[in-house]
Amino acid sequence: MVTIAQVAAHAGVSVATVSRVLNGSDTVKPDTAKQVMHAIEELRYTPNLSARNLRRNESRVILVLAPNFSNPYYSRILAGIGDLSREKAYSVLICNTSGLTETAQSAMQMLSKHLADGAIMLGCPQSAEWVGEYVERYPVVLCCEYIPKLVDRCPIVSVDNYAAARQIVRYLRDLGHRRIAMIGAENAYASTQNRWEGYRDELKESGLACNPDWYEKADADYSFASGRRAALRLLSATPRPTAIFAISDILALSAISVAQELGLNVPRDLTVVGFDDVDYTTMFHPFLTSVRQPCYEMGQKSLSLLLSKIQGCCVPLSGIHHSSFELIERESSAPPIQME
CB 114 to DNA: min, Å: 8
- Binding window for DNA (CB under 7 A); candidates: 41-49, 144-152, 211-219, 304-312: 41-49
Among 24, 37, 52, 61, the residue binding DNA under the rule CB under 7 A is: 52
Among 34, 41, 51, 313, binds DNA (CB under 7 A): 51
E strand or H helix at 118: strand 118-122
- Nearer to DNA among residue 27 and residue 338 (C-beta): 27
Closest CA relative to residue 4, chosen from 29, 26, 28, 21: 21
Nearer to a copy of itself, 96 or 211 (CB): 96
Q: Which does 94 bind (CB under 5 to 8 A by kind): DNA, a copy of itself, none?
A: a copy of itself
Burial of residue 50 (number of CB atoms within 10 Å: 0-12, 13-18, 19+): exposed
- Nearest by Cα to 8 from 29, 31, 30, 38: 38
Identity of the amino acid at 190: A
Cα–Cα dist 326/276, whole Å? 10
16 contact choice in a copy of itself, DNA, none (CB below 5 to 8 Å, kind-dependent): DNA
Query: Alpha helices, DSSP H only, in the chain?
Result: 4-11, 15-23, 30-43, 49-56, 72-87, 101-112, 131-137, 161-175, 190-205, 224-236, 249-261, 295-310
Question: By CB under 7 A, is residue 20 in contact with DNA?
Answer: yes
Q: Does residue 158 touch DNA according to CB under 7 A? A: no
Residues linked to residue 218 through DSSP beta bridges, in sequence order: 185
User: Which one of DNA, a copy of itself, none is in contact with 253 (Cβ closer than 5 to 8 A by kind)?
Assistant: a copy of itself
Binding partner of 70, given a copy of itself, DNA, none, CB within 5-8 angstroms per partner class: a copy of itself
For DNA, which residue of 34, 41, 42, 56 counts as binding (CB under 7 A)? 56
Cα Rg of the chain, angstroms: 26
Distance, CA of 256 to CA of 254 (rounded, Å): 5
Phi and psi (nearest 5°) for 7?
A: -60, -45
Nearer of residues 40 and 203 to a copy of itself, judged by Cβ = 40
By CB under 7 A, residue 26 contacts DNA:
yes
Instruction: Give the H/E segment covering residue 66.
Output: strand 61-66
> Which residue, 53 or 282, has its beta carbon nearer to DNA?
53
Residues forming the site for a copy of itself (CB under 8 A): 1, 44, 46-51, 53-54, 57, 59, 61, 68-70, 72, 74-76, 78-79, 82, 86, 91-96, 98, 103, 106, 109-110, 112-115, 224, 253-254, 257, 279, 283-285
